[in-house]
Amino acid sequence: MNPYRGCFHACAYCYARPTHPYLGFGAGTDFDRQIVVKINIVERLRARLAKASWRSELIAFSGNTDCYQPLEAHYQLTRGCLEACADYATPVTIITKGTLVRRDVDVLQELRGTVGCRVAVSIPFSNDEHARAIEPFASPPSKRFETIRILAEAGIEAAVGVAPIIPGLNDEQIPEILRRARDAGAVSAFKILLRLPLEVGPIFEARLAESFPLRHRKVMNAIREARAGRLSEGRFGSRMVGQGVRWSTIDALFSAQCDRLGLEHLAGETPEPPEPPRRAGPQLPLVF
């Protein structure tokens, strides 16, 4: 579910950028500022969930853009969708950088107690300064660790997503990110290798050159090295893996750190909910 298209957080590496031109906007500044709000999403979702054919499949918030970007404070569409999922016993998984997820702890607790939910907080940098350069309007990592703590203390299963891993820029921060996330209460972790499809390549490279002029070339080389010479690939999800010695080293480091810290190493970028879904609600009538 993507209640919003475009994202105010404006991460330079955002793989959703090339989807904005489908809506008639640009993939650059338009993506960050021309946000499309699906104002009837809650009604449409409820209508879908009410159908007898709905089998309580897992819903991920959001596959494309952040469901807890600032506009959510006003529109409350993500919250409305979560309430609908709770009413129709539909499990959810959330991936976000937004602190606003803390507002919805009550609904998440309700989901956790019935069909299951998991919240993954995306933290690619341990350093607030680095994050500000590449993810200028997302909450700083220090706040995101705090979000994990608040969720964990409320009994919500929390994961950390080191996503994306940018070889040569943030791979050295992996141990610190995992340790701080575990200390805050995360129980699992996953990683995604940076992917720079279409318009994202030049946008990312321009931001990198501006913010890290002395590391720019080294990082671009390391990114190519981790993906056998390419900046992107069509495959996605858990199959979206890197190649070569550089990626093997990152992979081994990530796994070893997870083992050492007692974090479950999740394979894909969309963690499954901890509990299998159970259909709830009133028994449906028998119709002859």
Binding-site ranges for ligand SF4 (CB under 6 A) = 7, 9-11, 14, 16, 65-66, 97, 135, 138
CB of 11 to ligand SF4, least distance (A): 3
Q: Which is nearer to ligand SF4, 16 or 120 (CB)?
A: 16
CB of 137 to ligand SF4, least distance (A): 8
Q: Which is nearer to ligand SF4, 14 or 189 (CB)?
A: 14
User: Are 7 and 16 in contact, with CB atoms under 8 Å apart?
Assistant: yes
Q: Which is nearer to ligand SF4, 56 or 173 (CB)?
A: 173
User: Are 65 and 2 in contact, with CB atoms under 8 Å apart?
Assistant: yes
Q: At what angle do helices 41-49 and 77-87 cross, to 10 degrees?
A: 10
Residue 66 main-chain phi, psi, to 5 deg? -70, 125
Q: Which is nearer to ligand SF4, 49 or 134 (CB)?
A: 134
Start-to-end C-alpha separation, the chain: 35
Q: What angle do CA 191, 196, 200 make, to 5 degrees?
A: 125
CB of 288 to ligand SF4, least distance (A): 49
CB of 99 to ligand SF4, least distance (A): 12
CA atoms within 13 A on the CB side of 42: 14
CB of 4 to ligand SF4, least distance (A): 9
Question: From the CB of residue 288, how many other CB atoms can be counted at a distance below 10 Å?
Answer: 2
In sequence order, the β-bridge partners of residue 5 are 36
Tokens 């992917």 sit at which residue?
A: 195
Q: Which is nearer to ligand SF4, 7 or 108 (CB)?
A: 7
